[in-house]
Amino acid sequence: VCFSARSMATTAYLLSITENVKYYLLIFLVTPFALIKKKQKQKKQTRALPVKMAAPLTLLLLVAVTVRAALFRSCLTELIAERVEVVSPLTAWKRGKGAPATPLIIYLFHFLVDYAEVTFMLADVITAVALYMAVADYNKQVFRKQKYALEADRYPLDCLELIRSPKEMYYIPLKVAMFYLLNPFTILCCVAKSTCGLNNAIIALFILTTIKGSVLLSAIFLSLATYQSIYPLTLCAPALLYLMQRQYIPVNFRRFSFWWFIAQYAFMYLGSLFVLVCLSFFLLGSWDYLPSVYGFILSVPDLTPNIGLFWYFFAEMFEHFRLFFLCVFQINVFFYTIPLSVKLKEHPVFLIFMQLAVISIFKSYPTVGDIALYMAFIPVWNHLHRFLRNIFLVSCVLLACSALFPVLWHLWIYAGSANSNFYYAITLLFNVAQILLVSDYFYAFLRREHHLTYGLYLKRKDGSEATLVLK
């Protein structure tokens, strides 16, 4: 059996992709044992994976760049660049010098102003490729872990159908890249020249370097992302967890190695942040940018409508409660980091996904570009789909809201037949849908983990089929 499987596998890679997958499925279902034996072989094959996938990825990149280039040349550019859903005061290209942009971005575009379109397309491509590579690497590890667990017979017997097969995992990196590049939200974001695309690229590079296990680069990119917009600071928790997991450092508060690693990472993170801040100071010659950028993010002085929760809330807020609610809302973003890290200690990549979603829902100036980043991860959680409870409803609401945003905006701003409440209602609904989506994925993830420990077909004491509830 072992021999045949090996030969079949080798031929499978020479055959077309679909056949390959079929064979893999076959191998997988016939004998998990074979997998263990084929350990070394498997390694070689997985390494060959990106090379084989290079052609479809290149095609995807070409399509994405073509779509963007075509839109840049069309008359829609102006229209898209004005959409409040796509650009926030913080990311708007159109605001020019008036925008509270970080000095490095200003400096960057000082040189690249003539190549802005190329830069934004490149940023999207970098994000997509980084996510692709990160997810490919992550899947490899997931697969390996699953293999070890199977070896150790850790899964209950009825859980075989929860085991992930290479077939389903094979296309995931490509799907992630596609979800990011061909997501209308990303395309709009790129065409509007929203600097959100650049922030996404930095975060994607941070994810890639973290997953590749490069501590220094991870810290540098995290500090860059933080420098750009404070909120990615919360991503340091999953990064630490992942890197420690990778280096087999136990998450134990009493262990020296744990604290030593945290100190190292913090040192690298703070060091590069310090360099960035000082560099900005030398570029501008003053510290004025600190209050004008970070004060702008934290104190929300600009109430231009967007898809977030802040604008209307603080436009309608009573002045003497303003500071209190500002603190409540801002803390809300950082608040979930620790409980989520505790709960998802073993699954830092899912934690990254959760954190990105929380940031994009509760940040002060969200745009659709932020949503696009965490939505790119959805294909990674393909295996959770059987546990999702209301994905249909949520996706319908998200789609309907996306369509209604421009409609109600027009009614309010141009036609004058609606007022601000209409637009506000849609932002509320959109955010509820996002919250439901994220919590649904979280629920599904936890449930799958539960099943992997306790078995898929649970029985009550009396032997009847059991239903799982949260208690």
Partner 1 sequence: MAARRRLVSALLVFLCASSVFSGAESQEATLTGGHRAAAVDDPPTDTERAEQAAEQPAVEERRWEATEVEEATPDEAAGEKQDTSAPGTAAPSSAPQPKDDFQEELVVRPLHSGDIYASFQFRTLWETDFTRENKVSHYRLFPKSLGQVISKFSVRELHISFTQGYWRTMQWGQPFLPSPPGAELWVWFQDSVTDVDGTWKELTNVLSGIFCASLNFIDSTNTVQPSASFKPLGIGNEATDHRFLRYATLPREIVCTENLTPWKKLLPCGSKAGLAVLLKSEKLFHSSFHSQAVHIRPVCEDRQCKTTSWELRQTLNVVFDLYTSGQGKREWSLFKMFSRTLTEACPLASSSKIYIDVTDNPQGEQFELSPATALLSQAVVLGDRRTFSVYDLTQQITFGSVRSLNLLIRWKSTEGDMLRPLLHAERYVAGYGLQTGEIHTLMYNNHPYRSFPVLLLDSVPWYLRLYIHTLTVTSKGKDNKPSYIHYQPSKDRLRPHLLEMLVQLPPNSVTEVTVQFERALLKWTEYTPDPNHGFYVGSSVISSLVPSIVAMDTNSTLKRPLFSSFFPCKEESSFFVRIYTEPLLVNLPTPDFSMPYNVICLTCTVVAVGYGSLYNLLTRSFQIEEPSPGLAKRIANIIRKMRGVPPL
Residues within the interface to partner 1 (CB under 8 A): 82, 84, 94-98, 301-305, 309, 311-319, 325, 329, 332, 336, 339-340, 343, 361-362, 412-414, 419-421, 424, 428, 431-432, 435-436, 439, 442-443, 446-447, 450, 458, 460-461, 466-471
Q: Which is nearer to partner 1, 299 or 382 (CB)?
A: 299
Q: Which is nearer to partner 1, 220 or 354 (CB)?
A: 354
Q: Which is nearer to partner 1, 317 or 391 (CB)?
A: 317
The backbone torsions φ and ψ at residue 465, rounded to the nearest 5 degrees and listed phi first, read -70, 135
CB of 248 to partner 1, least distance (A): 27
CB of 386 to partner 1, least distance (A): 15
CB of 257 to partner 1, least distance (A): 27
CA-closest candidate to residue 354, choices 373, 339, 340, 370: 340
Q: Which is nearer to partner 1, 150 or 446 (CB)?
A: 446
Q: Extract the tokens encoding 238.
A: 């999953």
Q: Which is nearer to partner 1, 92 or 215 (CB)?
A: 92
CA-closest candidate to residue 376, choices 137, 196, 169, 204: 204
CB of 431 to partner 1, least distance (A): 6
Q: How many residues does the chain have?
A: 471
CB of 270 to partner 1, least distance (A): 29
CB of 247 to partner 1, least distance (A): 27
Spatial distance between the Cα atoms of 123 and 68, rounded to a whole number of angstroms = 12
Q: Extract the tokens encoding 335.
A: 């608040």
CB of 169 to partner 1, least distance (A): 25
Tell which phi-psi region holds residue 16, choosing left (phi > 0), alpha (psi between -120 and 50) or beta: beta
Spatial distance between the Cα atoms of 180 and 175, rounded to a whole number of angstroms = 8
Q: Which is nearer to partner 1, 263 or 466 (CB)?
A: 466
Q: Which is nearer to partner 1, 167 or 447 (CB)?
A: 447
Which residues does residue 465 pair with via DSSP β-bridges, in sequence order? 459
Q: Which residue has the tokens 């599904």?
A: 444
CA-closest candidate to residue 134, choices 235, 67, 219, 213: 213
DSSP assigned state of 287? S
CB of 122 to partner 1, least distance (A): 23
455, burial (CB in 10 Å: exposed 0-12, middle 13-18, buried 19+): middle
CB of 168 to partner 1, least distance (A): 24
- Contact between 42 and 94 (Cβ < 8 Å): no
Q: Which is nearer to partner 1, 24 or 430 (CB)?
A: 430
Q: Which is nearer to partner 1, 21 or 397 (CB)?
A: 397
Spatial distance between the Cα atoms of 108 and 120, rounded to a whole number of angstroms = 12
DSSP 165-211: PHHHHHTHHHHHHHHHHS-HHHHHHHHTT-THHHHHHHHHHHHHHHH
Tell which phi-psi region holds residue 463, choosing left (phi > 0), alpha (psi between -120 and 50) or beta: left
Spatial distance between the Cα atoms of 392 and 396, rounded to a whole number of angstroms = 6
Cα 393 from chain centre:
22
CB of 312 to partner 1, least distance (A): 6
Q: Which is nearer to partner 1, 62 or 342 (CB)?
A: 342
